[in-house]
Amino acid sequence: MSAAAAVGVALLGGLFGVAVPPLARRFTHSPARPRRPRSAAAPSHRPRRGAWVWRGPPVSAAVFGGLAVARCDDPALPVFLLVAAVGLVLARVDLACLRLPDPLVLAAGLLALAGLTGVALLSGEPARLLGALTGATVAGAAHVLLAVLPGSRLGFGDVKLAAALGLPLGWLGRDALFIGLLLPHLLHGGLVVGLLVARRVRRDTLLPLGPALLAGAWFAILLG
């Protein structure tokens, strides 16, 4: 891919970044329910005002541009870009209200599965599709185990997202899958420690894992 094409993809990402907030806003409010007293044990899913300021265009441009440069020779690049687009909306929603809506996670998974299936058939590489399915199975199973551990704060939205991201990671091979499974938890753990030291959060504060899963997968794809 030429430098001009990579810049064009980055600019496309920047334009998409402008659309991320209104797209995410459709998913940041839960359906209306009968009013009931709030419980400390049941945190609200309403958006946390001021919790995060969206820097959409620069972030989206970096995500798209990085993929274009790193995976320029991979016929699956358009699939990675589509999954990244959905992932940016998911990250925005999770940071705003600690939710990973099933429709968005399902869209990411279906885009990855359909896109990689098409690429595998057109390029005559069915083995890579098997690798993608294996990656989804391994990633999903690993996060199910983490979710059922005593005291785990891992939600099943995170499990489903990990399985969806396992498709492109498995497509790239074992090393990318390993990095994509390990790196998100290192990133999340480092962030939690830093916020605790800075006294920005407490030990019982719930923090979203979705952005770390997406960032870890992005780095893994760049390195894969």
Residue with tokens 């968005």: 104
Q: Please indicate, yes or no, if residue 142 is contained in any of the structural domains.
A: yes
Q: What is the DSSP letter of 31?
A: P
What's the number of domains the chain is made of? Answer: 1
The answer as to whether 164 is a domain residue is yes
Provide the residue range defining the domain that includes 219. 3-26+56-223
Write down how long the chain is: 224
pLDDT in tens, the chain (224 residues): 778 899 999 999 999 999 999 999 999 865 444 444 433 344 444 444 434 445 678 999 999 999 999 999 899 999 999 999 999 999 999 999 999 999 999 999 999 999 999 999 999 999 899 999 999 999 999 999 999 998 888 999 999 999 999 999 999 999 999 999 999 999 999 999 999 999 888 888 889 999 999 999 999 999 97
CA-CA distance, 222 to 138, in Å (whole number)? Answer: 20
Amino acid, res. 168 = P
Q: Which residue from 113, 116, 55, 134 is spatially nearest to 88, judged by alpha carbons?
A: 55
Tokens of 5: 């094409």
Q: Is residue 89 part of a domain?
A: yes
Q: Are 188 and 207 in contact (CB under 8 A)?
A: yes
Asked if residue 33 is part of any domain, the answer here is no
Q: Identify whether 140 is part of a domain.
A: yes
What is the value of pTM for the model shown?
Answer: 0.87
Residue 203, Cβ density class (10 Å: 0-12 exposed, 13-18 middle, ≥19 buried): exposed
One DSSP character per residue, 98-132 reads S---HHHHHHHHHHHHHHHHHHHHHHT-HHHHHHH
Assigned domain for 50 exists: no
Contacts of 18 (CB under 8 A, 6+ apart): 56, 57
| Distance separating alpha carbons of residues 80 and 220, to the nearest angstrom | 12
39 part of a folded domain: no
Whether residue 138 is contained in a domain is answered as yes
Measured in whole angstroms, how far is the alpha carbon of residue 57 from the centre of its chain? 17
